Amino acid sequence: QVQLVQSGTEVKRPGAAVKVSCKASGFTFTRYGISWVRQAPGQGLEWMGWINIKKGNTNYAQKFQDRVTVTADTSTSTAYMELGSLRSDDTAVYYCVRDFAYVVDVWGQGTTVTVSS
């Protein structure tokens, strides 16, 4: 079946970076894009950025422009989101979601990232 499986829980110190992976299966990875979305505890959803898997081009939310990098490895059907210069308010669940032709449909299970000294 179509699914996105994300990497496990991360605990990071302030100032560090985190890299979350998202492995796709059940569909042709290169025909789609992947967006990254986060949700702080008790808060709403926040879009962070997107990658066109085939072309490799990216778009980022202005808020994260200088700290986030989204990449993809077509050989393993895996997308990655790296967020640097972590702060305590980056503590959140991070989701990958399939996103192409304005259809945002299949979500990963989420990865909890905790930033604490």
If one asks whether residue 8 binds another protein (CB under 8 A), the answer comes out as no
Q: Applying CB under 8 A, does 94 fall inside the site for another protein?
A: no
Residues 25-84 that bind another protein (CB under 8 A): 35, 37, 44-47, 50, 59-62
Decide whether 84 or 110 has the Cβ nearer to another protein.
110
- Contact flag: residue 110 with another protein (CB under 8 A): yes
DSSP E strands in the chain: the ranges are 3-6, 10-12, 18-25, 33-39, 45-52, 58-60, 68-73, 78-83, 92-100, 103-107, 111-115
Closest contact distance (angstroms) between CB of 74 and another protein is 22
For 64, phi then psi, to 5°, come to -110, 0
What is residue 59's three-state secondary structure? strand
Count Cβ atoms within 10 A of the Cβ of residue 55 and give its class: 0-12 exposed, 13-18 middle, 19 or more buried. exposed
**Minimum distance from residue 25 beta carbon to another protein (Å):** 16
- For another protein, give the closer residue by CB, 17 or 45: 45
Which is closer to another protein, CB of 13 or CB of 46?
Answer: 46
